[in-house]
Amino acid sequence: MTASTAAPPAAPAAPPDPVNVLKAFAGLRRLLGTYPPAHPMIAQKLRELDELVRQHLRRGPVLEIDVIDGEVRLDGVSFGTDRQANAQAIRELSDLGIDSIHIREGVEAEELRTVAEFLWQFKDASSSDSLESQLSRRGVRHVSLARLVQLDTRWRSQQWPDAPTGPLDPAYAESLALAEQTFETVASGRRLDAMTIRGLVELLIYRVARSNAALGQILAVKQYENLTYCHSVNVAMLSLLIGKQIGLDDAALASLVEAALLHDIGKTKIPLDVVKKPGALEKRERKMMEAHTTFGAEILVQTEGLRPMTPIVALEHHRSVKGTGYPDLGAAVPHVMSQIVSVADIYEAITGARTYQAPTLPERACLVLARLAGEKLNSALVKAFVNAITFFPLGSMVRTTRDEIAIVVGINPCDPLHPQLALVNESGDGPGTRIDCSARALTGAYERHIVETVLPQGNAPDMTQFFSASPA
């Protein structure tokens, strides 16, 4: 940090806009990549960034800027700035995979320059080294860059219900109750019972998967912050859909469902305040959270009667197809079962709510998967998943070109973008007229299209009624 002889002014009433720091970082990064190092524009931009950082650090010893779902947070609190105007600076960093910049007291201007240089050279972290060690090698001690841990589910929430509300499909409700019991057993230090798991796997494959109402409740956007057991049941069902789509046989499907169901069992060993913490995790907390993979594998390998893939998937489900991710297992590419669970895990996590963000709608979640395909996720499995669930999955609430609000109650396999719908009554609580969205007028033109998925306002409609009124 450049020296200043001026006495620090009194702390301002409102914090300075953190977006200006992001903009200055992004600007400096571009200048460093474009102009020679001694160019005056670089020096000027560095001074600007340095001054902005100093303004923030007058308010406290650490400046924490996190970008969560496009929204800038300063020290964990949403700053509520104009998203549109700030979009470019935010996007530049998030395209690099950086969602979080923490700067500590004592930072020097040269360190800020080094970080900006690093960001210019940084290409989606193909290095297996952590960001921290890469920065540390460059002499950066007071700045941390991080990707936010978006995939970690929470056990409880202040803002959202912590499990599905309203009537549930009976088989789905039974599977959730059994899974909750299983996770509590392990959390309390007792042994996992392989026979209970076998029963639960059969329940999922033979009853839950055959109920459109259950699938609707699992696939549609989830207005609750799902506890780990609930997330696990949902991931098991989504993995099953991928497994069926790629033609796995019955034995492999059972193995996949068991592994998916228990992939996060290691979270029962992580302190709840870390599991529940919204936003970016500190390094120590992140390491702890990452350990759920090895904890899970240890628990599962010690449980007699489980299928051999189960501990492997627990160990590998946060590793990418490029061999990056955690835990560090060298360049080893994860088993295809782990790759399937990774796809399901991400979709399930982002279509669920978080203390700090609304759930992502299914069609947007599919686009997120598409963006990760080839880098983190297996492209063929992403394709299989999107084909299996379609852009408008069962249970989704959608708006049509005739301004109707309806629930998707059936998929037309030959025309998945024009599914079977049941209109939502004006009272919003029951199935109205059934519509085949693929119907065409005499001219050959579609009578209606789906415009978008919408988030149910207030209480979500009772899916069990919508699906009981429609043939499976």
Instruction: Write out the residues near Fe ion by the rule CB under 5 A.
Output: 264
Residue 264 CB, shortest distance to Fe ion, in Å, is: 4
Residue 281 CB, shortest distance to Fe ion, in Å, is: 13
The DSSP code sequence of 268-304 is: GGS-HHHHH--SPPPHHHHHHHHTHHHHHHHHHHTST
Residue 228 CB, shortest distance to Fe ion, in Å, is: 9
Beta bridge partners of 424: 431
Residue 273 CB, shortest distance to Fe ion, in Å, is: 18
Measured from the CB atom, the residue of 50 and 264 that comes closer to Fe ion is 264
Q: Given the structure tokens 């947007």, which residue do they identify?
A: 364
Helix, strand or coil for residue 101?
strand
Measured from the CB atom, the residue of 17 and 264 that comes closer to Fe ion is 264
Q: What is the rounded CA–CA span in Å between residue 27 and residue 234?
A: 42
Residue 318 CB, shortest distance to Fe ion, in Å, is: 6
Element holding 203 (H helix, E strand): helix 194-203
Beta bridge partners of 406: 398, 423
Measured from the CB atom, the residue of 343 and 406 that comes closer to Fe ion is 343
Looking at beta carbons, which residue is closest to Fe ion? 264
Give CA torsion, residues 241, 242, 246, 249, to 10 deg: -60
Q: Render the burial of 428-448: b for 16+ CB within 10 Å, e for the rest.
A: eeebbeebebbeeeeeeeeeb
Measured from the CB atom, the residue of 92 and 264 that comes closer to Fe ion is 264
Q: What is the rounded CA–CA span in Å between residue 139 and residue 37?
A: 18
Q: Render the burial of 133-142: b for 16+ CB within 10 Å, e for the rest.
A: ebbeeeebeb
Strands 100-104 and 397-400: unpaired
Is the distance from CB of 99 to CB of 146 less than 8 angstroms? yes
Measured from the CB atom, the residue of 46 and 275 that comes closer to Fe ion is 275
Beta bridge partners of 354: 357
Measured from the CB atom, the residue of 320 and 396 that comes closer to Fe ion is 320
Is the distance from CB of 223 to CB of 359 less than 8 angstroms? yes
Measured from the CB atom, the residue of 23 and 263 that comes closer to Fe ion is 263
Measured from the CB atom, the residue of 349 and 409 that comes closer to Fe ion is 349
Residue 349 CB, shortest distance to Fe ion, in Å, is: 9
Sequence-distant (≥ 6) Cβ neighbours of residue 60 within 8 angstroms: 75
Residue 126 CB, shortest distance to Fe ion, in Å, is: 23
Residue 234 CB, shortest distance to Fe ion, in Å, is: 13
Measured from the CB atom, the residue of 289 and 463 that comes closer to Fe ion is 289
Residue 424 CB, shortest distance to Fe ion, in Å, is: 35
Measured from the CB atom, the residue of 111 and 264 that comes closer to Fe ion is 264
Alpha carbon 34 to chain centroid distance?
34
- Please, where are the H alpha helices in 317-462? 336-350, 362-372, 379-389
Residue 160 CB, shortest distance to Fe ion, in Å, is: 20
Element holding 120 (H helix, E strand): helix 109-121
Alpha carbon 101 to chain centroid distance?
19
Measured from the CB atom, the residue of 66 and 264 that comes closer to Fe ion is 264
Cβ atoms within 10 Å of 289's Cβ, excluding its own: 22
Asked whether the bond before 15 is cis by omega within 30 degrees of 0, the reply is: no
Asked whether the bond before 327 is cis by omega within 30 degrees of 0, the reply is: yes
Q: Token pair of 294, please?
A: 């090895």
Measured from the CB atom, the residue of 264 and 404 that comes closer to Fe ion is 264
Residue 129 CB, shortest distance to Fe ion, in Å, is: 22
Residue 380 CB, shortest distance to Fe ion, in Å, is: 22
Half-sphere exposure of 107 (CA within 13 A, CB side): 29
